[in-house]
Structure 1
């Protein structure tokens, strides 16, 4: 079991602990919680249970998880109480703090084991609903996870300290149970999150000390999905075909991070700020979506090995998004790919290294690649038995739409739009790839001026510039304005054409 899987299991223990499956009576709440934990592969050890009808008190409860690779996670509670409120809901009271332990397989690259303490003073948990559809609501002024001890793979205790605090936390869960399927609809919000991490690296002669402080504000998240038993989830292809779905999102407001490192060569520092960001992850039998974003980013670097007081990088917007089919299909399915970095800038010290005379434009750089299309998999790629790197591709590309390609930097710009369709029955015309049909329109601005500046700076030789210009002349023609070029790359009749001239 990898460290990330062990952490996921441990986090699951905490979440199950703070949102135990519930019904309308304390006895049903406690019974439902036990059933959910054991069905997820955990083992329960119960010290004592006291039932007086209107409430259930459980003492010395331990929940443990192990897998075949040697990883484990365990959490324990000295007392839990389930008290009926007389209105069909149940209040669950947990300890204000409880321990969490994790260990990782010896084959991993991460730590060997760690001990944590979860503190949640004032946490209020109310459960209600029915045996088949359970609702949870909880709120807490603060939840803190503290690192008590961390060991490496040899068992040596590392000099590391860490704590994670979330303030003004609220959450809602709605869980419906149907046999071995659990349907979840949840969301949460937190006013802020603060992570502090510090440690000493004593592994080598140049070992040093480092500290990290990360803060986020305005956190929100949501998860919807249908989750299955551990045996089914072991093979994602089987799980997807059995009804597994997941749709999760996470967003945050202002971000601030400080990283300080003390080494023999001297101190170094990284400061990062952003105005917001987030990610999405969704999956079902038809498709998978994954995306990230970060806006208003600014990074400052300083240190003994940097030949300037500091270096600054900034951008207005960055993003990545991928949509793709994940299951075998006989008909084409949609896919999409987007990556972008908008208005990227670097500090003048960096520019001055390559362009001290400011010949090149300092305007912010932008790169955008936005593609859409259709295709299909000929095998379930989520099945571990499927070989993705075999001699025969496991999928087919049917169409590709170039919604936007844009590269703008140093006073030059290249853009492209267009679309292609592919004939997968013809793999000979273009040497092993399906024959395309369609057109891509390309626009180029400022290329000649950029080439002249690069020659003046000694970055580009006259010979290289001549070869570049000859190549441009073959594929382009003059555009509407000065130092503008255009090109139409067209695939038709089994050939490749540039501005009407056949190249292949």
Structure 2
């Protein structure tokens, strides 16, 4: 949570907030007070010298500081001045220095002390503030925004740039941010950038170890809303448990690529990645956490001295989603889990390792799972005292109430497994299934192409006739013929008495 707060607050400053036209008016002192209040809402202390001018306000000797005592760490942003000029139409223009250093000091107990200075730079940054006190809109654009590692010390020893470097650059950035601070604080942000480039590298002068990561992204976008209740403390996880906090948003890009290499005494391992559209949606409040990420047109290559063959794979689509309750509840709460790996392919060189005769179909493979359900949490995951008690007592964090398998698909090597079904769980009966709450429900399963796949595995020498016979006997016990050739289906049921049935025949 502290990292979220820091990144969000840096966004308030670095990307300068934003907004559209407004008929209300703001003055330069009101704009500065609003920015200062926003940063304080994210846990920063702010000191500066304010000097009124004929057309606005000069703010000099600016220092913004965030302390994280539990990590023995501080983040400090300092620069000479911000110029605020009243435009005569009710808006205010803000001018920031072209370079602003961000100093991070961290000395966690038992770990090396680290001091780094990041140089936040901008080219062609234009920022206009409109609206009214308590509800300001910030509009900005920049030819370029960048963050670079300017200094680094580890345990007091300087690290030169040729030993460690980091650069991140955004080109052609446009955005808006609206801040409402009448009760608590609410920040709504929309940002777009034409492209991004990044470069990270390190070389250990005392060994042969080195690493390099570089890449780019196109069509970046961020849209988010964050709500901070009055009295919210970003350094205290208890503030999340108290309620009122909420964050939701969408971010991603339309295309990306990366190259990486790592050198060790055994040699250099290197690779590349490529993606089409990547989209992340998230939502979090005092009750639940939701996370959904999707990507298209992915490709990955990897080679190195410890790999007998270079790895070359691709995937048409991948997705991961999760919904989890985080607050203590007396009633069942919704949960969800989803995983999709669709259109997976690998190079013929890899296929030929175990299937040189191309006996198996090399069509793109798919693995997909979609589960929803309900659970009842007994503890608040963001309450340190409750979690400490759970760890000390070895208690149960919650109970499982219901699960629904909306879809299960495994399609590979000419065979396809599908499934769907639902169960409820009796948490008062922990004896029937050996400490697990007794399920009640059914699942329907289909299997196509299994016998053909078994025959091919026998011909390839990967499966013996005896093993194949055992597999076929097992399928005949639990399944009946399906609708097509080489097709099987089965309905597995667990009734209220805890009996397990396959197609109506009791097996337990």
User: TM-score when scaled to structure 2?
Assistant: 0.90
Aligned to 2:477: 474
Judge which range, 471-480 or 246-255, deviates more.
471-480
Cα deviation, 1:130-171, whole Å, max 9, x if unaligned, reads 222111111111111111122334634151122111011111
Cα deviation, 1:372-428, whole Å, max 9, x if unaligned, reads 122222332332233466654332222221110011111121110111222333333
Summarize the Cα distance change of 1:13–1:418 in structure 2 as closer, same or farther, 3 Å threshold. closer
Kept after mapping to 1: 8 A contact 2:291/2:321: yes
Alignment partner of 1:457 out of 445, 451, 460: 460
Question: RMSD between aligned alpha carbons?
Answer: 2.6
Alignment partner of 2:501 out of 497, 500, 503: 497
Kept after mapping to 2: 8 A contact 1:313/1:347: yes
- 1:99-248 equivalences under 5 Å are 99-107=101-109, 112-153=114-155, 155-157=157-159, 159-179=163-183, 181-202=184-205, 204=207, 207-228=208-229, 232-236=233-237, 238-248=239-249
Give SS of 1:175's match. strand
Kept after mapping to 2: 8 A contact 1:224/1:246: yes
Extract unaligned runs of 5+ from structure 2: 20-24
Matched, 1:488 2:491: yes
C-alpha separation in 1, matches of 2:233 and 2:173: 33
Structure 1 residue 211: Cα displacement: 2.2
Kept after mapping to 1: 8 A contact 2:68/2:235: no
Cα deviation, 1:97-156, whole Å, max 9, x if unaligned, reads 111111222447687121111111210111121222111111111111111122334634
- 1:83-102 equivalences under 5 Å are 83-102=85-104
C-alpha separation in 1, matches of 2:87 and 2:237: 41
Give SS of 1:474's match. helix
Matched, 1:12 2:9: yes
Give SS of 2:436's match. coil
Judge which range, 120-129 or 314-323, deviates more.
120-129
Judge which range, 146-155 or 132-141, deviates more.
146-155
Cα deviation, 1:313-341, whole Å, max 9, x if unaligned, reads 10000010001222222222222110010
Judge which range, 259-268 or 61-70, deviates more.
259-268
Judge which range, 316-325 or 48-57, deviates more.
48-57
Give SS of 1:221's match. strand
Kept after mapping to 1: 8 A contact 2:17/2:177: no
Kept after mapping to 2: 8 A contact 1:240/1:284: no
Kept after mapping to 2: 8 A contact 1:21/1:32: no
Summarize the Cα distance change of 1:111–1:123 in structure 2 as closer, same or farther, 3 Å threshold. farther
C-alpha separation in 2, matches of 1:11 and 1:132: 19
Extract unaligned runs of 5+ from structure 1: none
Judge which range, 420-429 or 481-490, deviates more.
420-429
Matched, 1:75 2:86: no
Kept after mapping to 2: 8 A contact 1:13/1:75: no
Structure 1 residue 477: Cα displacement: 1.6
Alignment partner of 1:411 out of 400, 410, 414: 414
Summarize the Cα distance change of 1:279–1:144 in structure 2 as closer, same or farther, 3 Å threshold. same
Structure 1 residue 236: Cα displacement: 4.3
Kept after mapping to 1: 8 A contact 2:78/2:102: yes
Structure 1 residue 33: Cα displacement: 2.8
Aligned to 2:344: 344
C-alpha separation in 2, matches of 1:440 and 1:18: 51
C-alpha separation in 2, matches of 1:235 and 1:468: 55
C-alpha separation in 1, matches of 2:247 and 2:93: 29
Kept after mapping to 1: 8 A contact 2:18/2:140: no
